[in-house]
Chain A
């Protein structure tokens, strides 16, 4: 069975990197550039894990996505790893129920993959 990971991230290059690293590990990767697009993809078919950025365009940030997900029984149990370059939001993210909070600049891609493996359901 393929394991599907959804990535909501607005930076095209960062998307590419995640995709390359995770497909090499054998995961199926779906990309969304905005929160709205991500929610739509999630509702269409539930991913096994979500990598979520905080600063997103079009008036919907990562926390808004998280909140919306929790309202929907189909998406509320998807494990979420927050990947961002903001230091300040860790507590909010963890209080909301994120599995982990990683600061991009201080994390290796190897660590990202290790966290994905750890929290996959």
Chain B
């Protein structure tokens, strides 16, 4: 594309040739000087403008949030890379020149119109909540901060929107609500049992025999233990929320810790028809928190059992390569749907299947064990191909501190 100054130059050259015919060539040189001067100056200005635009673009592209510039009528003029990603646009041209209102759901458009109108008088607005709409029809929740960009005379020229995708925040919010409901339910069960035990005792007309008294108190005591358990779990998760992982490493025989967990498990899962197939190499000793390692193993097996079909088999493999302990836990269950796979380590997140099988679960299991593994400097990953009977396999690598 030619700039207007290229055309000006062309016009000037023609003019000069015509003039040269009339006045002679000496006048050309004199006439050329101011034109050349202006052209060179404008070229510099254009270059500077381009440079500053590029700097601005780089700054905008570096922002973690999506930035959109609209003109006063709401037409999109500039978008950054984040916006392109967020709205899954192939090119910027798909979006630029279109109305910004096309990118929110129809129900939100009237409100957006009003809010942008208000913005032109207030200069900036924060926390505008819209449901954004992609060209492919999919939707996602956003929170926007908007400000007015004015021209050199202070008149509103355009509107800058900084958009933040809040899908994850909303998911965590819902999950938290679910967690508190589940926790309250877990507290309610032992509390209501205790209440009834006490009511029965106080309504009695004849005293209990000593034997019976002992029985009743034992039952009540077990409910109190249940309450303490629930409260401890809640407390642990709130510590983890602050990023605090308390680990108490001690010298352990790895195979004993894993074996003990599996044994407790197979005793617990009686009646669930679970077959745990454990194979291991020489694991030796290491410094590790045995309770946390036990938690990691039992959590993965609990999940494997819970979310597998009726006849389930869980395969546990433990090997040691030098200073790395490698554990694999494989089931032949339903698997984890692709769309839920990125979320399973998220605090409070529960898959649809998990909610169905165990409505009272906390959604903390995998989050907690990942926190432990992270604290040890290890890794946890999984494969779940979602093919019949292929199930899910978790792979854990834990760097070990050698026992000297």
Contact = CB atoms under 8 A, between A and B. Distances in A.
Interface of A: 11, 13-14, 16-17, 20-21, 55, 85-86, 104-105, 107-110
B242 interface: no
Contact of A17 (B200, B222, B360): B200
Contacts of A20: 200
B219 A109 contact: no
B200 A105 contact: no
Nearest to A12: B219
B270 interface: no
Nearest to A16: B219
B197 A17 contact: yes
A20 B189 CA distance: 18
A104 B200 contact: no
Classify the interface of chain A: helix, strand, loop or mixed. Answer: helix
Interface string B183-210: 0010011011101110110010000000
B142 to A, nearest CB: 30
Given A13-B219, A55-B359, A55-B360, A85 B199 contact: no
Contacts of B192: 14, 85, 104-105, 107
B188 A14 contact: no
A66 B194 CA distance: 28
A13 B222 contact: yes
Nearest to A112: B196
Interface string B220-248: 00110000000000000000000000000
Interface string B172-189: 000000000000010011
Contacts of B199: 108-110
A70 B196 CA distance: 31
B185 A86 contact: yes
A14 B200 contact: no
B203 A14 contact: no
B185 A14 contact: no
Interface in B26-52: none
A20 to B, nearest CB: 6
Contacts of A21: 196, 200
Contacts of A110: 199, 203
Contacts of A14: 192-193, 196
A86 B197 CA distance: 20
Given A105-B188, A107-B192, A109-B200, 9 more contacts: A13-B223, A14-B196, A17-B193, A17-B196, A17-B200, A85-B185, A85-B192, A104-B188, A104-B189
